[in-house]
């Protein structure tokens, strides 16, 4: 009977040793947990406030095998119909056309999926095409019927490219404390209609300004850098030499004035009362 007792004793000792060794992997598991936490994406760890916020009003897609970033302004009506236009910036060094293009959108927003007919017209190129693109919507922000979209289309190679080269790292775009929607060069001629001539590209500290038209100027456009709100008005008066442009909206008069004794500035008046005057920072 001594042999079974010996076996039992050895098994008991082995169990004690094994239990003692099990404390070591706990530390290793903890280290792995820390490593996995560090590798989590911003989407997986929404509590990490140090992560940079993705820019509002920007989404991305591929065009003719060239990758682009799009700054978009879309409108959504009560029937969920989406219309608008966008301005794109090309990242391809091999591009044989201008770095900017305009797109017109018509589509319907349903269940956070946006199926759009995209009409592209590229500056400096005769290429034009109608294509239906499906966009995976990652973020929706609706303010006064303005819809901002962040996302990429579903083509895997495009998604892989933008995961490695996200456009919000390549452009100076919106974060929680930044009021600039897009890089100045990208925004500079965004707001005129694609077929319009651009007579004025200017900005103040708080606004982007365009004067657009055909053979003659006919439209004033002012866009808030803070909110993205856009005011588009027909011109009521302008100087032939391009030194003065005026648009009226009810009691308010918006004037872009160049090269006066006071300098060049945007002026907004209500009746006879001046309510805003900002110097032009570029034009």
DSSP designation for 96 = -
pLDDT at 77 (0 to 100): 56
- As given in the structure block, the two tokens for residue 271 are 């009746």
Beta bridge partners of 268: 254, 276
pLDDT at 184 (0 to 100): 37
Mean pLDDT by 10 residues, the chain (283 residues): 49 47 36 34 36 31 36 51 48 36 43 41 43 34 29 38 42 31 40 81 89 87 85 89 89 90 89 91 83
pLDDT at 262 (0 to 100): 78
pLDDT at 230 (0 to 100): 86
Q: Which of 164, 162, 156 is nearest to 59 (CA)?
A: 162
pLDDT at 79 (0 to 100): 57
Q: Which of 149, 147, 131, 129 is nearest to 139 (CA)?
A: 149
Q: How far apart are CA 201 and CA 110, in angstroms?
A: 36
Q: How far apart are CA 22 and CA 30, in angstroms?
A: 13
Phi first, then psi, for residue 31 (nearest 5°) are -65, -40
Q: How far apart are CA 73 and CA 229, in angstroms?
A: 10
pTM confidence score: 0.37
């Amino acid at each position: 009977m001594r042999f079974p007792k010996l076996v039992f004793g050895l098994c008991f000792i082995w169990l004690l040793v094994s239990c003692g060794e099990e404390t070591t992997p706990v530390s290793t598991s903890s280290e792995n947990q820390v490593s996995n936490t560090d590798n989590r994406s911003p989407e997986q760890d929404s509590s990490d406030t140090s992560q940079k916020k993705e820019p509002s009003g920007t989404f991305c897609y591929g065009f003719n095998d060239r990758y682009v970033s799009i700054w978009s302004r879309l409108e959504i009506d009560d029937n969920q119909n989406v219309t608008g236009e966008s301005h794109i910036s090309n990242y391809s060094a091999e591009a044989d056309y201008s770095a900017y293009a305009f797109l017109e959108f018509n589509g319907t927003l349903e269940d956070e999926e946006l199926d759009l007919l995209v009409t592209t017209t590229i500056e400096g190129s005769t290429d034009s095409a109608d294509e239906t693109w499906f966009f995976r919507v990652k973020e929706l922000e609706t303010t006064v019927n303005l819809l901002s979209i962040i996302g990429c289309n579903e083509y895997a190679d495009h998604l892989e490219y933008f995961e490695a080269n996200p456009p919000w790292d390549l452009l100076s775009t919106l974060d929680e404390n930044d009021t600039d929607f897009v890089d100045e060069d990208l925004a500079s001629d965004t707001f005129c209609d694609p077929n319009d001539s651009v007579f004025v590209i200017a900005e103040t500290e708080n606004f982007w300004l365009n004067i657009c038209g055909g053979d003659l100027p006919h439209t004033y456009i002012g866009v808030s850098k803070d909110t993205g709100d856009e005011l588009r008005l027909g011109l009521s008066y302008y100087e032939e030499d391009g030194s003065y442009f005026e648009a009226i909206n009810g009691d308010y008069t918006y004037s872009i004035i160049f090269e006066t004794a006071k300098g060049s500035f945007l002026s907004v008046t209500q009746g006879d009362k001046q309510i805003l005057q900002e110097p032009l920072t570029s034009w």
